[in-house]
Structure 1
Amino acid sequence: MTFYNRVDELETLTSGVESPGSDFIVVYGRRRVGKTELLKEFCTDVPHVYFLAAQEAEHRQREKFIDRIADHFDDRVPRIDGWDDAFQYLGEKLATEDLVVVIDEFPYLVEENDSVPSYMQEFVDEHLHETDSMLVLCGSSVSTMESEVLGHESPLYGRRTAQLDVQPFSFKQAREIIEYDIADAIRSYAVTGGTPMYLTLFDYDRSLRENVRSRLLSPTAVLYNEPEFLLRTELRNPARYMSILEAIALGHTTPNEVAGATAIDSGPLSKYLQTLRRLRLIEREVPVTASQKKSKRSQYRIADEFLRFWFRYIEPNRSSIEEAPNIVYDGTIAPDLPTHVATTFEDVCQEAVWEAIRRGDVPPYSAVGRWWYREHEVDIVGLAPNDDRLLLAECKWTSEPVGAALVERLRETTAHVRWGPGDREVRYALFSKSGFVEGLEDDLSESWSLFTLDDIDSLLRSASR
């Protein structure tokens, strides 16, 4: 399988190996995001021991761990009675040879014995510290990694030399994999999101319809039950969480709307929402001009495009999919897909704004995000407090070119965005799937920037090279 991107992550790991002294690096992130592939790619050219933990009895975990170490050193497998002895054995071996030691899915070890972080602390302090070796702890359970490895209460707190929070690919990064033209690339990203496994499952020589049909709209397809599987690995009873995710995916974005759609009282709902946020399945969003902590105008959104697609189209239609998948696609998904993709397009345009800022094509802004107040909203707002400058941008995923009506509407909305002094500088941008009516750009001042799909593609593709 081709290894994509992760340049910064590989550089961090490589710098650790090349620097003098020992290193202890923590790698974590959601399942399927490519952590294991990253570590395998890194380990290709360095002496290493790689151990993948599994959900099994503690003694079997320990036996397999010792086997891996003994095998690397061509040593007789010693008798080991506890994790303290296991790490003592590893420490003795590292005194003879510098290695990269990777323990993948570390939370499985903690699940069977919550004293493992304490034994690991002793190993780091007493053995690893005296070598030029590197220890890498990796895990998909973000909550466990943050509490048992990175948290203040963890015995390992303060000992790491670096940490990698591995994220799904942005559209700019995913564009390297998605071999469609720009319009279909955005549509495809609205289905797969940036999870490397999902991106590489699609065959880009086939149409998007064919990929969705074969990869999602079949009970035997890999992605058909994927979200349910992911939830069951993190939660004992995922039913209510699934109903919350479905409600958010279908447009119920405020706590009151979610409560109404799911019939879950606000008290328990708040805890469920917190758990979903901790698992990085949803995000809490406030207007870019508001305080993240203090604002009461919060909305929730699914944190992953694939999950948003699945809970919008697959979960509510499972019975129909099993009987007539083609009808579900042609009658339910295809007519509504532009509405679904429009949200993804806003995120892609936001990426384009940041890239334009980095390239100096537009003036700098320190914060970029959505804004809304009562019946008014703007897709993208940029704030430059030091310069009292405001950016207002709209993103239109429509079949018709954008004309003067949108320009006038955005101008009218400007007065409702209460930020900065009265003499603030206001700049505008329009992003359009279908381009702009002839002559529009000539009628606008230099404070306006217009972006077509080709402009966005050129901007993001050049950035990825």
Structure 2
Amino acid sequence: MTFYDRVDELDALETALESPGHEFYVVYGRRRVGKTELLKEFCSDRPHIYFLASQEAEHRQREKFVEQIAGHFDDRVPRIEGWDEAFDYLAEKLATERLVVVIDEFPYLVAENDSLPSYVQSFVDEHLQTTESMLVLCGSSVSTMESEVLGHESPLYGRRTGQIDLQPFSFRQARDAIAYDIDDAIRSYAITGGTPMYLTLFDYTRSLAENVRSHILTPTAVLYNEPEFLLRTELRNPARYMSILEAVATGHTTPNEIAGATGIGSGPLSKYLQTLRRLRLIDRDVPVTASAKQSKRSRYRVADEFLRFWFRFVEPNRSGIEEAPGVVYDGTIEPNLPDHVASTFEDVCLEAVWEAIRRDALEPYSEVGRWWYGEDEIDIVGLAPEADRVLLGECKWTSDPVGHALVDSLRDKATRVRWGPDTRTEEFALFSRSGFVDGLADELDDNWSLFDLAEMDTLLTPDNRSRRS
């Protein structure tokens, strides 16, 4: 099995373990994002105790935890009456051996006993600090990990020595796993997003259409109901949140549009949107030239490509999928997929901009994002305040080569971007799925950079960062 990327996260864990003294790390992130695989890879070549909690009675959770400790030390399983005694037993054993101790799905333990963070606090303060060992608490419930482990009111607040908020792969990180050419790789990423489990479910020897039909549009497939399970991990009553996600995924991006599509009043909607943002299920965007805190020109978007695909194409068509999934794919998904992929392509182009900056293929910019005002929109705008320099770029996921019309349009819109002095330096970048009309590059000056898919593939194909496990 191949373990993909996560080089930076592994380096952080390994550096922490090699440093003097104890370590108390917190690893958290959404379901399926690869937390368990990361920790198993980290533990694979060093002494460790790995305990995966489950949703069962507290006494059974505790018994299994103690059994795991005793099993590592080839010890007789002691009789333990409470969590304080369980952690005392662990402390006794850590006095004899330096270990990595991982408690995975910690929120399941907290759900059965909300005093558990206090027991961990006592263990860290009274025992772990005197060792060279490492404790890792891991969990998929972002809300529980942030409140019960990282929050100001948690007994564990201030005791961690490090944390990893594990994110889905960017396109560049996922590229190593997607064994399609660059065109189909972007289309595939627009469907699976960067969640490792979703990525690795697809069989890249088969067509993208075959993968969608078998892994998403089949009612018995894992991904068919995955978003519902994801939301139930975090939310007791996910119905309204699902309606908001569907509204955003289908193009209702402002608060007023979302309210109109869902029938939820502006007051309650604001709280729902805050919760979805905290759970990393939606993002709030403002124009890159505006203040994120002060701007009222906010737009929302579904933060995960798979969720965006599912809420746009699967959730509204459940009845049809149950009866005739092929008809839904041919009649609804395939004709509208280019529009869906175009949004993902903009994100991929943003990644390409940052990589081009790192490789000196573009001048440096401290901020890069989208810009809009009124009816005008520009896909990519980069700001370099210290140099009074601005980058303006457009991304076209079309079947026709880009020509002079887009050049003229971008020049015109550039005059309406109010940022910097009148003497600012302007650079331009065009990204095109289908390349550029003959002669366009020769007619443009050195302030223009053109990127077709082949050049983007060179920028976004990472070094070999996968590991065999």
TM-score where L is the length of structure 2: 0.98
CA distance in 2, matches of 1:7, 1:253: 35
Mapping of residues 234-253 of structure 1, within 5 Å: 234-253=234-253
Q: Residue type matched to 1:161 in 2?
A: T
User: What does the per-residue CA deviation read over 1:221-279, in whole Å, with 9 as the maximum and x for residues that have no partner?
Assistant: 11101101111121111111111100000000001000000111111111111111111
> Match of 2:128?
128
Q: Residue type matched to 1:209 in 2?
A: A
> Match of 2:37?
37
Q: Residue type matched to 2:201 in 1?
A: L
CA shift, 1:75, in A, is: 1.6
> Match of 1:421?
421
CA distance in 2, matches of 1:133, 1:418: 55
Asked whether the 8 Å contact 2:277–2:283 carries over to 1, the reply is yes
> Match of 1:229?
229
1:119 aligns with 2:119: yes
CA distance in 2, matches of 1:278, 1:348: 24
Mapping of residues 271-286 of structure 1, within 5 Å: 271-286=271-286
> Match of 2:109?
109
> Match of 2:348?
348
1:204 aligns with 2:204: yes
Q: Residue type matched to 1:279 in 2?
A: L
Aligned-pair RMSD on alpha carbons? Answer: 1.0
> Match of 2:384?
384
> Match of 1:320?
320
Asked whether the 8 Å contact 1:392–1:410 carries over to 2, the reply is yes
Stretch deviating more after TM superposition (455-464 or 348-357): 455-464
> Match of 1:287?
287
Q: Compared with structure 1, are the counterparts of its residues 377 and 150 closer, same or farther at alpha carbon in structure 2 (3 Å cutoff)?
A: same
Asked whether the 8 Å contact 1:172–1:464 carries over to 2, the reply is no
> Match of 1:264?
264
Asked whether the 8 Å contact 2:176–2:462 carries over to 1, the reply is no
Q: Residue type matched to 2:315 in 1?
A: E
> Match of 2:86?
86
Q: Secondary structure at the match of 1:109?
A: helix
Q: Secondary structure at the match of 2:2?
A: coil
CA distance in 2, matches of 1:322, 1:425: 56
CA distance in 1, matches of 2:38, 2:394: 36
Asked whether the 8 Å contact 2:143–2:234 carries over to 1, the reply is no
Relative contact order, CA 8 A, sep 6+: which one is greater? Answer: 2
> Match of 1:99?
99
CA distance in 1, matches of 2:307, 2:114: 32
CA shift, 1:17, in A, is: 2.1
CA shift, 1:107, in A, is: 1.1
CA distance in 2, matches of 1:146, 1:388: 39
CA distance in 2, matches of 1:289, 1:441: 29
Asked whether the 8 Å contact 1:398–1:434 carries over to 2, the reply is yes
> Match of 1:359?
359
CA shift, 1:9, in A, is: 0.8
CA distance in 2, matches of 1:426, 1:82: 66
CA distance in 1, matches of 2:75, 2:461: 50
CA shift, 1:380, in A, is: 0.5
CA distance in 2, matches of 1:375, 1:229: 38
Stretch deviating more after TM superposition (345-354 or 48-57): 48-57
Q: Secondary structure at the match of 2:163?
A: strand
CA shift, 1:462, in A, is: 4.9
CA shift, 1:113, in A, is: 1.4
Q: Compared with structure 1, are the counterparts of its residues 34 and 94 closer, same or farther at alpha carbon in structure 2 (3 Å cutoff)?
A: same
Asked whether the 8 Å contact 1:33–1:197 carries over to 2, the reply is yes
CA distance in 1, matches of 2:288, 2:464: 27
> Match of 1:214?
214
> Match of 1:155?
155
Q: Secondary structure at the match of 2:14?
A: helix
Asked whether the 8 Å contact 1:173–1:464 carries over to 2, the reply is no
CA distance in 1, matches of 2:464, 2:298: 33
Q: Secondary structure at the match of 1:300?
A: strand
Percent of aligned pairs with the same residue?
77
Runs of at least 4 residues off by over 2 Å: 462-465
CA distance in 2, matches of 1:233, 1:13: 26
5+ long unaligned stretches in structure 2: none
Asked whether the 8 Å contact 1:286–1:299 carries over to 2, the reply is yes
CA shift, 1:463, in A, is: 5.5
Q: Residue type matched to 1:13 in 2?
A: L
Asked whether the 8 Å contact 2:178–2:199 carries over to 1, the reply is yes
User: What does the per-residue CA deviation read over 1:409-455, in whole Å, with 9 as the maximum and x for residues that have no partner?
Assistant: 00000121111111111100000000000011111111000000000
Q: Secondary structure at the match of 1:223?
A: helix
Q: Residue type matched to 1:237 in 2?
A: N
Asked whether the 8 Å contact 2:381–2:390 carries over to 1, the reply is yes
Asked whether the 8 Å contact 2:286–2:298 carries over to 1, the reply is yes
Q: Secondary structure at the match of 2:224?
A: coil
CA shift, 1:157, in A, is: 1.4
CA shift, 1:461, in A, is: 1.2
Q: Secondary structure at the match of 1:33?
A: coil
Number of aligned residue pairs: give it: 465
CA shift, 1:16, in A, is: 2.0
CA shift, 1:53, in A, is: 0.9
